[in-house]
Amino acid sequence: MAIVKTERHPELPPPTTQTGVVGWLRENLFSSWLSSVLTIVAIYVAWQAMSSLISYSFINANFAGVSKEDCTGTGACWVFIKARFGQNMYGFYPEDERWRVNIGYVLGAVGLFLVLSDTMKSKKLPAIFLFGIYPVICYFLFFGGFGLSQVETSEWGGLFLTLVLASVSIFVALPLGIVLALGRRSEMPVVRMICVGFIELVRGVPLISVLFMASVMLPLFMPEGVNFDKLVRALVGMSLFSAAYMAEVVRGGLQAIPKGQLEAANSLGLGYWQSMGLIVLPQALKISIPAIVNTFIGLFKDTTLVSIVGLLDLLSVVKAGTTDKNWLGLATEGYVFVAATFWVFCFGMSRYSIWLENKLHTGHKR
Amino acid sequence: MSEAAMKQADSSAAIQLIGMHKWYGDFHVLRDINLTVERGEKIVVCGPSGSGKSTMIRCINRLEEHQQGQIIVDGIELTNDVKKIDEIRREVGMVFQHFNLFPHLTVLENCTLAPIWVRKTPKEEAIETAMKYLERVKIPEQANKYPGQLSGGQQQRVAIARSLCMNPRVMLFDEPTSALDPEMISEVLDTMISLAEEGMTMICVTHEMGFAKTVADRVIFMDAGEVIEQAPPEEFFDNPQSERTKLFLSQILHNA
């Protein structure tokens, strides 16, 4: 006899123990005896660590005052950071000219926001501004010209210098890295050899030695009288170094795109650059976002290595401050401040990349 | 060769393959392929796996390079000249086994991309054309979805519409239904049949023998890189000449 089901089973809500706060806690934190113990131990350890960190940096910390003597509490002496804040932010950039840097920050922040966020429907104009006009404005704003007094790059420093180094290197490294990655996959042997040679050479040496070479050897290759700024030399070194890393990251993304995508693009009559620019790269870059941002974050932190060629980035300025005889013994505060500042920027990049990944997700998972 | 020269003079042919050979390294995959496809003609290519069917049609729009012989598409001979390759690719549409839709673009963007960038069609006009073809493949309501949100059959119909948006003179189908779930095959085949009825020149690599019987003007059987037999479908299925064709037909029709 055939068995036929005629009525549809009614839709029931899931059992309450599986949903809501209770369900979540039960499943994730207290699913077993061992898991419950681990949860409690972890909460205890986290509480211990956090409570002492919070009391050191906030509850028992000293905020008011002008000198070391004002720091009477048992916690951190933030007076030190406050007193030297200007130098930490701008290095030896003349105090009366620091508004120029601030304008640069504001313009950059606005441009960056318009390009990275979803507020503008077409990103063409903000992109032209940020990548075409903004660098020129910044050059004159920071360096001088058009009636603005000249500020030598040797006076630049602090967080300002760190941001200049990081943004210029990122700005150069990504496009250059993409070109190198495409070159490495090119069918033209000469192009391929040049790209492979460059990538493997640069990737195989430490950044410090690249900076040294850029600083010491670059002038030797230049004709007599041509002398690059020390900052420019460091920028060239860092950009080329990160471009080599970026190239490998992008290549990984390119290799993950099925061959069929390029074939489909070709069969529709799209040429090489159109196929790459419209079909392959958008997908390859999208899947490489985590790795690209990883490289950016690494690069951002590696800017501290420029102290080796005598540039005063945030870390070196703060470090110099700790040796000031009026503020001796406050190295911890200095390093905590530097660490926190770097963390804010890096965490921001990381969150942005997660937001971007979600935004670009179009319902196909690989 | 005199026969080949005669064929070459025949300018009404949509596609001509004359003494075409191809090697993968040392492996001789295609051997002396001679094939003329008239305008409006529908050709079904079948044969066992690895027989070179796909490779042959992929040579027609230069996704694969041939090493000897001539391929003439719409009067243009395929050489290393990139301009000619692009010219031919604009006129020859292709539908792939795995659809190869662009996953980062919506269905509509998939269809308008090539007309806008290759044919320089104004955007509004490209959208209009795309909607017309999406309606023809019966999925205009999916226009703003991403390919990943569609079923396999729908994706393949989008792929067909995407090719049609370039107004190709010839359509190549490379096993368009072999990656589909059984219940979705017929929707794709129906689209192809209606395309055939409108007079499109088509070359289909397929194992759908029902489709071959309905629309094909000629069935071509390939084995081990050679064209073994060509015949109109009635003759091909009812009275195959070669032993290899008979064996192949007995194997696939046994399951059907």
Structural domain includes residue A116: yes
Does one domain contain both A299 and A350? Answer: yes
Reply yes or no on whether the pLDDT at A241 is more than 80.
Answer: yes
Q: What is the pLDDT of residue A223?
A: 75
Give dist(CA A201, CA A9) in Å, integer: 66
A142 and A213 in a single domain? The answer is no
Number of domains in chain A: 2
List of chain B residues whose C-beta atoms are within 8 Å of the C-beta of residue A286: 104
> Which residues of chain B are within 8 Å of residue A265 when distances are taken between CB atoms?
102
Asked whether residue B219 carries a pLDDT value surpassing 80, the answer given is: yes
pLDDT band for B6, please (50, 70, 90 cuts): very low
Asked if residue B1 has pLDDT above 90, the reply is: no
Give contacts of B92 with chain A, Cβ < 8 Å: 267
Tell me whether residues A282 and B163 touch, CB distance under 8 A. no
Chain A residues with CB-CB distance to B83 below 8 A: none
Per-residue model confidence as pLDDT tens digits over B190-217: 999 999 999 999 999 998 899 999 899 9
pLDDT at A285: 93
Cα distance between residue A192 and residue A186, in whole Å: 6
Position A362 in a domain: no
A248 and A295: one domain? yes
In a shared domain, residues A113 and A197: no
> Taking CA atoms, what residue in B is nearest to A262?
B100
Give yes or no for residue B247 having a pLDDT over 70: yes
Given pLDDT bands bounded at 50, 70 and 90, which one contains residue A362?
A: confident
pLDDT given at position A146: 82
Residue A135 has pLDDT above 80, yes or no: yes
Question: Is the confidence at residue B255, as pLDDT, over 70?
Answer: no
Host domain of residue A134: 94-151
Q: Are residues A305 and A330 in the same domain?
A: yes
Domain assignment of residue A127, yes or no = yes
Q: Per the domain annotation, does A172 fall within a domain?
A: yes
Nearest CA-CA distance, residue B103 and chain A, Å: 7
Residue A363's pLDDT is what?
A: 65
Kindly state whether residues A199 and A245 are assigned to the same domain: yes
**Domain end point (choices A104, A133, A151):** A151
Residue pair B156/B185 in contact by the 8 Å Cβ criterion: no
Chain B interface, Cβ < 8 Å to A? 61-63, 82, 86, 89-90, 92-94, 96, 98, 100-104, 113-114, 117-118, 146-149, 162-163, 166
Is there a single domain that holds both residue A126 and residue A197? Answer: no
Please give the interface size between A and B, counted as residue pairs whose CB atoms are below 8 Å apart: 70
Question: Mean pLDDT across chain B, nearest whole number?
Answer: 90
In a domain, A27, yes or no: no
Residue from A97, A290, A363, A96 nearest B144 by CA? A363
Lowest mean pLDDT among A221-225, A258-262, B46-50, B89-93: A221-225
Does one domain contain both A199 and A135? Answer: no
Q: Cα separation of A147 and A217, whole Å?
A: 35
> pLDDT above 90 covers what percent of chain A?
51
Q: Is the pLDDT of residue A87 over 80?
A: yes
Last residue in a domain, options A151, A171, A191 = A151
Q: Are A314 and A341 contained in the same domain?
A: yes
Mean pLDDT confidence for B124-140: 94
For residue A316, tell me if it sits in a domain. yes
| Helices assigned H by DSSP within chain B | 2-9, 53-60, 82-91, 107-117, 123-136, 152-164, 182-197, 209-215, 233-238, 243-255
**CATH code, domain with A265:** 1.10.3720.10
In a domain, A197, yes or no: yes
- Whether pTM exceeds 0.90: no
Q: What is the pLDDT of residue B105?
A: 94
Same domain, A249 and A327: yes
**pLDDT confidence bin for B9, thresholds 50/70/90:** very low
What ipTM was predicted for this assembly?
0.90
Predicted local confidence at residue A63, as pLDDT: 84
Domain end marker among A151, A174, A198: A151
Indicate if A123 and A266 belong to the same structural domain: no
Asked if residue A21 is part of any domain, the answer here is no
Q: What was the pLDDT predicted at A177? A: 96
Residues of A at the B interface, defined by Cβ within 8 angstroms: 258, 260-261, 263-271, 274, 278-279, 282-283, 286, 360, 362-365
Please give the residue that has the higher pLDDT: either A326 or A197. A197
Give, rounded to a whole angstrom, the gap between the first and last alpha carbons of chain B: 41
Task: Please choose, from the candidates B110, B179, B115, the residue with its C-alpha nearest in 3D space to the C-alpha of residue B151.
Answer: B179
User: Does residue A301 share a domain with residue A184?
Assistant: yes
Q: Which residue of B90, B100, B117 is in closest CB contact with A260?
A: B100
Residues of A in contact with B82 (CB under 8 A): 271
